């Protein structure tokens, strides 16, 4: 425990947020609102830092503790929301034995900067209380700072309790305090709820200090830093200001940011001088970008490390990845957690990696999935290559030595090892290890049938012609059935001619049939006569 402790008031529900989430956990630029005052208190060396929680207290406690592992963080619970004075009293047990100074901050004021708090602490030395004040253009809703004729602060009056004359005062309470611990607990023990809101006001400390003969010290502060967050609009505005503040800090340090209003740089991002960040880039978590690197339009970096001279082309996504110097990534590449790319590695468009290492100079330039792979130096992975790393139960490794060439459309079925300098032909499915310097092929032999294409086209053409002829006949038949009424007579005449011709043809066939029968009968009669003559011999009568 140090000479200075802090209390963070974060028990509010945040009704105006219209959310099921406690207000303290709503994020601004990637961090919960309460993260910001806690971080400031820790920067000042406060130990312990007591966070007073209420609504969704267990979840607030869990998330905030996860953000500050190992920090001297303690939690107190305000079961009923009975005012700010009551909230501070709830932290007393967690600060038992502390006799130094206590800094009191609000959990929904994320824009407060460290230099401002340092001024507050400096002003409070030797005094019972120091607090921040501001002069907003419209002080409506804020407590007013009331001074005596000598200019010293006598009290803070909440607007609902203020007289018309007091409401004309422009100096307003900023709500943040630095107090002597013994004075704080003694004064709060005497605070009551006899006011318009029936609450225990923390602001009563100021009047108590005046009565004790040591008026509180007011520290003027820019309004923007003291802006609280009460709804979604104010949350978005706070996030915008935080991002702009981060971007300006990097630009002043030598980072090129094309449009500081169109980048999303979270607080922990580390950008080296000479790096360039294009518009619509989001750099989140513990990410870093080396000198001379360019992060292209629309790319996302989450907890990733990018070396020097790297080019991340547009719309690439890096999550938990490490990229070596002078590498090229993208466009449209995805590096998932566990990816480690060596120097001068190329990862091209629509390539995805996961738990994969690639040695210096290796390339996978097109359309590939590389998961659970260890790839050596100077390897070439062809388009359409995938590592089949999951057997339905376990994730299995694929190992490529140095100078390996993997042809396009190859499946590497893990576990499998490809030795140094080996080649795998395009279209292969590799299920067994390939020795160093070997060639692996697994596709079927090529078959060539000469003239097949010409015959195929000729056959198709003939079929098309036959289909066309059939369609014409069918079309004529349909046309005759669908002919207009005005052409019925001509159609009937044509039909009669066809019928007559058919009848004539039928008659001709009948006559021909009769003639043939007559000829056959005559032939039979003649033959009978000749047989009779031969039988009678020379007995034929003379004339």
Catalytically active residues, by annotation: 366
Residue ranges at the known binding site for Mg(2+): 108, 230
**Nearest-10 crossing angle of helices 114-124, 35-43:** 60
DSSP 486: G
Residue ranges at the known binding site for acetyl-CoA: 383, 389-390, 408, 426, 443
Which ranges in 135-180 belong to alpha helices (H)? 164-167
In the beta sheet, which residues pair with residue 352?
334, 369
Q: How far is Cα 121 from Cα 217, in angstroms, rounded to an integer?
A: 11
Distant-in-sequence contacts of 158-165, Cβ < 8 A, 24+ apart: 158/195, 158/196, 158/197, 158/201, 158/203, 160/195, 160/196, 160/197, 161/195, 161/196
Q: How far is Cα 283 from Cα 267, in angstroms, rounded to an integer?
A: 9
The percent helix, strand, coil of the chain (3-state, each to 5) is: 35, 25, 40
User: Residues 315, 321, 324, CA angle at the centre, nearest 5°?
Assistant: 95
Residue ranges at the known binding site: 9-12, 23, 78, 83-84, 106-108, 143, 158, 173, 230, 336, 354, 369, 380, 383, 389-390, 408, 426, 443
Q: How far is Cα 158 from Cα 131, in angstroms, rounded to an integer?
A: 15
By CB neighbour count within 10 A (0-12 exposed, 13-18 middle, 19+ buried), where does 82 fall? middle
- In degrees and rounded to multiples of 5, residue 466 shows phi and psi of -60, -40
Q: How far is Cα 512 from Cα 282, in angstroms, rounded to an integer?
A: 100
Q: How far is Cα 289 from Cα 306, in angstroms, rounded to an integer?
A: 5
One-character DSSP codes across 294-345: EE-TT-EEES-EE-TT-EE-TT-EEES-EE-TT-EE-SS-EE-TT-EE-TT-
By CB neighbour count within 10 A (0-12 exposed, 13-18 middle, 19+ buried), where does 310 fall? buried
Q: How far is Cα 403 from Cα 298, in angstroms, rounded to an integer?
A: 33
Nearest to 400 by CA among 392, 408, 412, 388: 412
Contact 215, 152 (CB under 8 A): yes
Other beta carbons less than 10 A from residue 495's beta carbon: 11
Residue ranges at the known binding site for UDP-N-acetyl-alpha-D-glucosamine: 9-12, 23, 78, 83-84, 106-108, 143, 158, 173, 230, 336, 354, 369, 380
């Amino acid at each position: 425990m140090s000479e200075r402790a802090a209390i963070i008031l974060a028990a509010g529900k945040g009704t105006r947020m219209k959310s099921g989430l406690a207000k303290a956990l709503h994020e601004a630029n990637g961090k919960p609102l309460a993260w910001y005052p806690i971080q400031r208190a820790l920067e000042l060396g406060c130990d312990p830092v007591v966070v007073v929680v209420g609504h969704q207290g267990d979840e607030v406690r869990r998330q905030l503790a996860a953000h500050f592992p190992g920090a001297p963080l303690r939690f107190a619970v305000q079961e009923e929301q009975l005012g700010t004075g009551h909230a501070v009293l709830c932290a007393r047990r967690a600060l038992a034995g502390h006799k130094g100074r206590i800094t009191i901050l609000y959990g929904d004021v994320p824009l407060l900067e460290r230099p401002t708090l340092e001024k507050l602490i400096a002003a409070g030395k030797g005094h019972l209380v120091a607090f921040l004040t501001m002069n907003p253009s419209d002080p409506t809703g804020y407590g007013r700072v009331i001074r005596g004729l000598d200019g010293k602060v006598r009290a803070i009056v909440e607007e609902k309790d203020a007289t018309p004359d007091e409401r004309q005062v422009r100096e307003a309470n900023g709500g943040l305090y630095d107090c002597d611990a013994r004075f704080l607990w003694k004064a709060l023990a005497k605070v009551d709820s006899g006011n318009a809101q029936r609450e225990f006001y923390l602001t009563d400390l100021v009047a108590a200090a005046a009565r004790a003969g040591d008026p509180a010290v007011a520290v003027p502060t820019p309004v923007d830093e003291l802006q609280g967050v009460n709804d979604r609009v104010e949350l978005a505005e706070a996030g915008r200001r935080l991002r702009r503040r981060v971007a300006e800090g990097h630009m002043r340090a030598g980072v090129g940011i094309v449009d500081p209003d169109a980048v999303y740089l979270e607080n922990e991002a580390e950008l080296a001088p000479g790096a360039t960040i294009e518009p619509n880039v989001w750099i989140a978590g513990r990410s870093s970008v080396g000198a001379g690197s360019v992060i292209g339009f629309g790319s996302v970096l989450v907890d990733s490390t990018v070396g020097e001279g790297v080019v991340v082309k547009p719309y690439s996504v890096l999550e938990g990845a490490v990229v070596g110097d002078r590498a090229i990534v993208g466009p449209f590449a995805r590096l998932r957690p566990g990816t480690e790319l060596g120097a001068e590695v190329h990862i091209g468009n629509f390539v995805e990696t996961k738990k994969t290492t690639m040695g210096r100079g290796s390339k996978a330039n097109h359309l590939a999935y590389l998961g659970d792979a260890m790839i050596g130096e100077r390897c070439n992975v062809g388009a359409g290559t995938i590592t089949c790393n999951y057997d339905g139960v376990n994730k299995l490794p694929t190992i490529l030595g140095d100078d390996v060439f993997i042809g396009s459309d190859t499946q590497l079925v893990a576990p499998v090892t490809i030795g140094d300098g080996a080649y795998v032909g395009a279209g292969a499915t590799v299920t067994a290890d390939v020795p160093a310097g070997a060639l692996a092929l697994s596709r079927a032999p090529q078959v060539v049938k000469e003239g097949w294409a010409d015959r195929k086209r000729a056959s198709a053409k003939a079929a098309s012609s036959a289909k066309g002829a059939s369609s014409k006949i069918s079309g004529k038949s349909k046309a005759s059935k669908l002919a207009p009424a005005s052409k019925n007579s001509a159609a009937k005449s044509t039909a009669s001619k066809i019928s007559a011709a058919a009848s004539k043809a039928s008659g001709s066939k009948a006559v021909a049939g009769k003639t043939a029968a007559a000829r056959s009968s005559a032939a039979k009669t003649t033959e009978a006569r000749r047989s009779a003559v031969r039988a009678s011999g020379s007995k034929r009568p003379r004339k």
